[in-house]
Every structure is written in structure tokens, then in C-alpha cells.
């Protein structure tokens, strides 16, 4: 049973060139928007943003190039564990972590919750073991999570339909009130997470899109599209899933759609 959903600000990056991220100005503001869900099976963290060790040992954890390009704001208060504590919870009560994918700005906080079970698509975890390509070396930092002991590797097989998408087959841990929805393309095992609310759903799309403006297909953000194409592991699949998300946004009124990095979307939920 879902009791409450909290929206967390778990890191800020300020890379050069706002238009690359669908924003204006010299620098973009790229937030790490995560969720904390109160359930009858303990606290569930959706993505983890940057972790304590990323701030304390940035060179060792993230590398010089990531720090130079990402321009990460140094603020330990913007960690999932600090956010959980600020809400009055014990971090040990985080029993499950669902990650959209294992890019460094989504997986950094895993090491701050050593007793939680991390649920991830198996093909996403497998991709982190192959660092031969420059793209994978830039996005994955296995030192963030290689010591973690508790994993649930989920096969990306399509199960029952969820609106115009499909949920992962066999993931019924939360009685179908939290669903993992494959949104492949950005990475090999990227997925969204759908959370049942009293009325409708909240659909966290991770990096399937970057700006709320993209939910309207009439908005043409060519610079952002170029960046997403460069980041994508499979751009055709990325575009196919983006079009499905856009259709969902246009025809369905009982689904709140959010992504991981848009500061305007995050601000909607901040006091």
C-alpha cells in the first residue's frame, strides 16, 4: 500500500550551455529529482542522485572529466540520505531502491543505503560491466555501487499493458502499485517507474526526456535533441519511447509525468 510520495532534490549540476538541456542562458541547472515513497513494506527510494562519497571524494568516484563538464554544486544536504533524515526518517527504513538506470547522477546514493535491495533491469547492470566505450566510461561509475550486496536483477521482458506502454513482467513486489516500465534507448536497461496514487498515477520517466517542454511534440528543441542523441545507447528506441510518453501526456489526464532533471518540474513539488 502506498501512503505518501515525497519529491527529493538530490544533487545539482550546472553544465555550460543551457540550450543543450532545453534551458536558456550560459549555464543549465540540471537537478537530480528523486522520489521517496512510504509503503507498507518500508520506504522505497526511486533513483538516488549523488551520494555522500561523491561529494567527499569526487575525483576518485567520478573522475576529472565528469567534474569538469558536470560542474556539480557541492552541497552534502543534497544527498538522498540527508533528504530522508530531514523528513524525519531513519535511513535504515529505506528497504528498497528502484533505479531508472545506473548513470552516475542516478546511482551515487546507493552506497549510502547498504541494507536496501536495489531493483534494476539486468541488461542495465550488465552494461555497467562493459567500460570499453567512451560513452559507458563517462556515464557509469561502478565504484559507486560495486560494493553493494543486495540486488534484484529483473529481466526486461514485457508484461501486461500499462496504457500505451508495458510493465516489466513478473515485478509484483508492491501488488502492482509500483511498476517498472521499460523505456529503453537512453541506456540499454533504462526504465520508468509508475506509482499508483489515490487518483491516477505518478510516472517517473528518468532520462527518457530532459525538459517538460518535450512533452508537447510541437516544441522543437533541436539542441537538446542533439545532446540526447549523443547520450543515447539506441536513439531509435529512445525516440519511440519519447513519442509514447508524449502521447500519454496529450491524451491522459490522470497521470502526472515527470523526469529526473527538470528544475521546473521539481519546483512544482517543493514547498
DSSP 11: E
Query: Rg of the chain's alpha carbons, rounded to an integer?
Result: 17
Q: How far, in Å, are 76, 189, 228 from residue 73 at the CA level? A: 9, 28, 22
Looking at every residue in the chain, the average pLDDT score rounds to: 96
Instruction: Show me where the domains of the chain are located.
Output: 2-267
- Residue 33 — pLDDT band, cuts 50, 70, 90? very high
- How much is the pLDDT for 54? 98
The pLDDT tens digits for 225-238 are: 999 999 999 999 99
Q: In whole angstroms, what is the distance from residue 158 CA to residue 186 CA? A: 18
The pLDDT tens digits for 186-211 are: 999 999 999 999 999 999 999 999 99
Of 193, 204, 205, the residue nearest 167 (C-alpha): 193
Place of cell 529512445: 238
- 2-267 topology per CATH: Metallo-beta-lactamase; Chain A (3.60.15)
Could you give the angle at which helices 235-251 and 222-231 cross, rounded to 10 degrees? Answer: 130
Q: For 206, phi and psi rounded to 5 degrees? A: 55, -125
The pLDDT tens digits for 208-267 are: 999 999 999 999 999 999 999 999 999 999 999 999 999 999 998 899 999 999 999 999
Q: How far, in Å, are 39, 80, 98, 107, 243 from residue 45 at the CA level? A: 11, 8, 6, 11, 27
Task: Write down the pTM of the prediction.
Answer: 0.97
- Residue 108 — pLDDT band, cuts 50, 70, 90? very high
**Residue 126's CB: how many other CB atoms inside 10 A?**
12
Amino acid at each position: 500500500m502506498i501512503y505518501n510520495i515525497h519529491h527529493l532534490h538530490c544533487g545539482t549540476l550546472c553544465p555550460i550551455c543551457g540550450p543543450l538541456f532545453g534551458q536558456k542562458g550560459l549555464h543549465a541547472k540540471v537537478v537530480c529529482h528523486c522520489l521517496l515513497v512510504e509503503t507498507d513494506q518500508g520506504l522505497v527510494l526511486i533513483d538516488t542522485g549523488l551520494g555522500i562519497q561523491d561529494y567527499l571524494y569526487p575525483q576518485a568516484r567520478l573522475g576529472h572529466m565528469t567534474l569538469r563538464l558536470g560542474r556539480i554544486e557541492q552541497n552534502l544536504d543534497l544527498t538522498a540520505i540527508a533528504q530522508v533524515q530531514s523528513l524525519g526518517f531513519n535511513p535504515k527504513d529505506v528497504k528498497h531502491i528502484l533505479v531508472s538506470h545506473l548513470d552516475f547522477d542516478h546511482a551515487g546514493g546507493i552506497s549510502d543505503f547498504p541494507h536496501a535491495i536495489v531493483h534494476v533491469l539486468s541488461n542495465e547492470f550488465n552494461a555497467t560491466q562493459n567500460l570499453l566505450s567512451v560513452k559507458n566510461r563517462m556515464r557509469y561509475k561502478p565504484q559507486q555501487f560495486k560494493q553493494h550486496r543486495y540486488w534484484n536483477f529483473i529481466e526486461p521482458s514485457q508484461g501486461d499493458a500499462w496504457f500505451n506502454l508495458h510493465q516489466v513482467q513478473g515485478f509484483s513486489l508492491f501488488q502492482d502499485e509500483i511498476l517498472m516500465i521499460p523505456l529503453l534507448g537512453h541506456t540499454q536497461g533504462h526504465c520508468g517507474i509508475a506509482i499508483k496514487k489515490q487518483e491516477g498515477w505518478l510516472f517517473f520517466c528518468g532520462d527518457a526526456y530532459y525538459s517538460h517542454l518535450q512533452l508537447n511534440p510541437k516544441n522543437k528543441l533541436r539542441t537538446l535533441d542533439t545532446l540526447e542523441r549523443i547520450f543515447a545507447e539506441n536513439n531509435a528506441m529512445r525516440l519511440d519511447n519519447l513519442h509514447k510518453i508524449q502521447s500519454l501526456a496529450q491524451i491522459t489526464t490522470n497521470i502526472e509525468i515527470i523526469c529526473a532533471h527538470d528544475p521546473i518540474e521539481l519546483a512544482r513539488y517543493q514547498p
